Amino acid sequence: MPGAYALRIVDSDEDQGVTGPAVVGCTQRAYLTVAPAGDADGLDFDPAHVTRLVGLEPTRVHRRGEASGPRVRRSSGWYVDVPQRDEYDTELLLRELLDVIEPHAEGLAHAQQVLGLRAGINVVIEMCSGRDRAGDILVTTPAFHLTAATMRRVARLNLWLDCDQYVY
């Protein structure tokens, strides 16, 4: 059938035989986010106050009302990032972030309680597609497998976990 193609999902260990300009790969980043718990009166908080209570320097912050391109921030935010990198193993990235957070667990819990905040971890996975020698589309996918030990670490910190996945 003209114009038909096949979609093939491959893991990072498979010979992809990619041709053309597309770079097939997977990048990931993860970050701890602290944000208002959600009521309309608590959308603004002082990120410096969170830093003092948690005892951990954030990698980025913003205040409610600040411009972000054409948008205006609707709430304040406080983040600790593991930088984006080529990575297929999501658990490695998550464990790296937990290693940074765990020594500050008491401060994080205290900041959430005192300031009415919630905290969680976002994982962002970006997969870039390409075509193999036969013209079929290839998408490399990460290993999103978490051990019980890693899930317990997240649970002990009382954090939610969100994973966003994008294919380009």
How do residues 129-160 score in pLDDT, each as one tens digit?
888 778 888 877 787 889 999 999 999 999 99
Note whether 118 and 148 are within 8 A (CB): no
Is pLDDT at 11 greater than 70 in this prediction? no
Q: Which residues contact 110 (CB under 8 A, 6 or more apart)?
A: 53, 54
Q: What is the pTM of this model?
A: 0.80
Number of other CB atoms surrounding residue 44 within 10 Å: 13
- Residue 150 to residue 152: CA distance in whole angstroms: 5
pLDDT value at position 21?
Answer: 42
Task: Read off the pLDDT of residues 28-61 as tens digits, 9 standing for 90 and up.
Answer: 999 999 988 865 555 789 999 999 999 999 999 9
Provide the angle, in degrees to the nearest 10, between the axes of the packed helices 105-115 and 47-54. 140
